[in-house]
Structure 1
């Protein structure tokens, strides 16, 4: 039960009617015993049969829902207008950290019959999309493989700079009103806030747009049916190599996502298709560069069972660096798939017990995991090894307030 901290009535000057204000404290405390085991194997026959495993058992947080602490408020301005704010911080309840910072969301807004204008740091349209059409959302070891792939650097240097994939700072968003016959959506723009100098020949002039985000989402929901599409572009700079070999390349990452769900009552099915392209500037005037493509899809289902819910999903992602075959031989594209199965048992409207099992299988150099646990081992006995599989389980309790 949410707790209202302050309710005040303020009289405006000139005899204008009083406005109603409220501030609400809310949050989630989620803890789980989690085990993750990541296995690496020898490459191309070197060190035949060599296999090494890195594993860890821990008390973790955010297995079912992200642990958080937040404050939100609204003021009725009259005439159908309302002002609001939302401050939400991640909570590390397993170890008491980190220090309170409202990095999950920090927005102020104005809403009315026209919709809502929202300013500040918030989730992007892309992650709203993927959380909606994945039974596990982006939480715990069962969470979205597609989101993980879009935030994990490939061997060719793709996607590692996509820090605004899930959340963007300095963002202005507009959300459609809720009375459009089932249609919903939003558009958003995040400023890069870089200093511009002119003329361009001025020493140290910065003409990049690194940090800028543009996105949007449009959907339609009617009864048990829901379908939506999203698009986003993040302007990025990606540094590969170290020391004197370090190279920074500018570019942008474009993502399109289509998702849908249908609730049959006895089961709810989910489907999602996603495509991203990481385009980089050439290394020099004599080189050409191809974008790294990432294609992913997901199929999922939830089945209510008494006070509980069974969750299951299968996802696959595939990278394509668009390189021409070397000496007539094509290099196999990195790819990974993920299978997740879980059960949530609701003890009340606010408290639930849960358990999840998940496994990621990597091929051809992909290095994805179940989203937690230790890093893959890359060398063993002076022999290079590469990621093979990531397996995990977690059992926990979640309480909301």
Structure 2
């Protein structure tokens, strides 16, 4: 009831007649933690946002158009509750579309298939303590901001016996690494030709994923990526594993490959779960490899409120700069976090 009253008030500020025809939901996450990180001689202790999931405020809605077709929209914004003036800090998702027996077609800023795959295959909630998040930094197939593509058209198929597909195309502007030229992006479609394809088989305890993404940013860096991974829930433990490779071709330099492999498990313990994962990043370039280990415990106080504690240890070669918080080249980083995640 409270959600509906809030949604009614928000929608009434914009258009009361439009709201009368739609079902609008206000939702969000507030996730805060106390964190401590150490990399070499550098230390950091702070209250931060987003230990399990990024804090956000969102609005989503549908309208029944008849004959099995619906109009839909999502407007979702990141928030920073840990700082003064945090407010709405950036647009996470913003799209509108149609759904029906044919699937769902949406237009706007939205997730490429690499986000859904890495989120499903991350054993430590794909957050800052998770090796899959730490080691995919800078890649397009990742659970972070690079996974959101702008100026995009996306198609998601219905499920056929557990099989489903997603295809996305970003026409221009910010996709891949988010580079922008003159604030507008390059409007030549062939100069920012970004495509993604995701295939999923999810049936009972088995979840298998394949993703292909190709992005060319506005500095002519071409990045082709593949991921394959799977998860299986044995009841006493859910096992997940993934392997991905990115080929990067930059003007004036030799192309190189980056490989990331992870394996982890989620073990139910009463009202909570133990999460453990290990990952390895290999880079063709000299002294850029890294290894990351994550361990966490999450405890559900209710369906909407979870408390958690965890740590991550990332070891870097001399030219690698990965970690949960600091990410200093050549320094090994150890990070600890204790926090609370509330969904509404």
- Give the TM-score range, shorter chain: 0.7 to 0.9
Offset at 1:216?
1.0
Alignment coverage as a number of residue pairs:
321
Say whether 1:270 aligns with 2:240.
Answer: yes
Offset at 1:61?
0.7
**Residue deviations 1:145-190 (CA, integer Å, cap 9, x gap):** 3322527xxxxxxxxxxx9731110000000013x11001200000
Match of 1:136 among 124, 134, 149: 124
Please give the alpha-carbon distance, in whole angstroms, between the structure 1 residues aligned to 2:88 and 2:293: 34
Aligned partner of 1:380 in structure 2 is: none
Aligned partner of 1:98 in structure 2 is: 86
Aligned partner of 1:292 in structure 2 is: 256
Offset at 1:365?
1.9
Please give the alpha-carbon distance, in whole angstroms, between the structure 2 residues aligned to 1:3 and 1:174: 29
Worse overlay, 79-88 or 122-131: 122-131
Match of 1:181 among 161, 165, 176: 161
Residues 79 and 89 in structure 2, CA contact (< 8 A), matched pair in contact too: no
The root-mean-square deviation of aligned C-alpha atoms, in Å, is: 2.6
Aligned partner of 1:379 in structure 2 is: none
Offset at 1:71?
0.3
Distance 1:207 1:219, change over 3 A: closer
Aligned partner of 2:273 in structure 1 is: 309
Worse overlay, 311-320 or 98-107: 98-107
Offset at 1:273?
0.2
SS in 2 for 1:66: coil
Say whether 1:113 aligns with 2:101.
Answer: yes
Say whether 1:166 aligns with 2:147.
Answer: yes
Say whether 1:54 aligns with 2:42.
Answer: yes
Distance 1:3 1:206, change over 3 A: closer
Aligned partner of 2:183 in structure 1 is: none
Distance 1:264 1:145, change over 3 A: same
Larger radius of gyration: 1
**Residue deviations 1:350-396 (CA, integer Å, cap 9, x gap):** 111100110100124211112x24x53xxxxxxxxx52201100001
Please give the alpha-carbon distance, in whole angstroms, between the structure 2 residues aligned to 1:3 and 1:213: 37
Higher helix fraction: Structure 1 or Structure 2? 2
Offset at 1:65?
1.6
Distance 1:107 1:207, change over 3 A: closer
Please give the alpha-carbon distance, in whole angstroms, between the structure 2 residues aligned to 1:174 and 1:359: 38
Say whether 1:367 aligns with 2:321.
Answer: yes
SS in 2 for 1:139: coil
Please give the alpha-carbon distance, in whole angstroms, between the structure 2 residues aligned to 1:237 and 1:116: 29
Please give the alpha-carbon distance, in whole angstroms, between the structure 1 residues aligned to 2:318 and 2:259: 15
Offset at 1:123?
1.4
**Residue deviations 1:229-269 (CA, integer Å, cap 9, x gap):** 0010111245xxxxxxxxxxx22111100010000001000
Aligned partner of 1:35 in structure 2 is: 36
TM-score (norm 1): 0.74
The 5 A counterparts of 1:201-280 are 209-238=190-219, 250-280=220-250
Offset at 1:193?
5.4
Distance 1:271 1:23, change over 3 A: same
Residues 294 and 313 in structure 2, CA contact (< 8 A), matched pair in contact too: yes
Please give the alpha-carbon distance, in whole angstroms, between the structure 2 residues aligned to 1:301 and 1:260: 12
Please give the alpha-carbon distance, in whole angstroms, between the structure 2 residues aligned to 1:87 and 1:102: 11
Match of 2:310 among 350, 356, 374: 356
Please give the alpha-carbon distance, in whole angstroms, between the structure 2 residues aligned to 1:218 and 1:181: 13
SS in 2 for 1:103: strand
Distance 1:349 1:235, change over 3 A: same
Match of 1:69 among 38, 57, 67: 57
Residues 210 and 227 in structure 2, CA contact (< 8 A), matched pair in contact too: yes
**Residue deviations 1:126-153 (CA, integer Å, cap 9, x gap):** 12111111112432333523322527xx
Residue ranges of structure 2 left out of the alignment (5+ in a row): 175-185
Please give the alpha-carbon distance, in whole angstroms, between the structure 2 residues aligned to 1:126 and 1:306: 32
Residues 276 and 293 in structure 1, CA contact (< 8 A), matched pair in contact too: yes
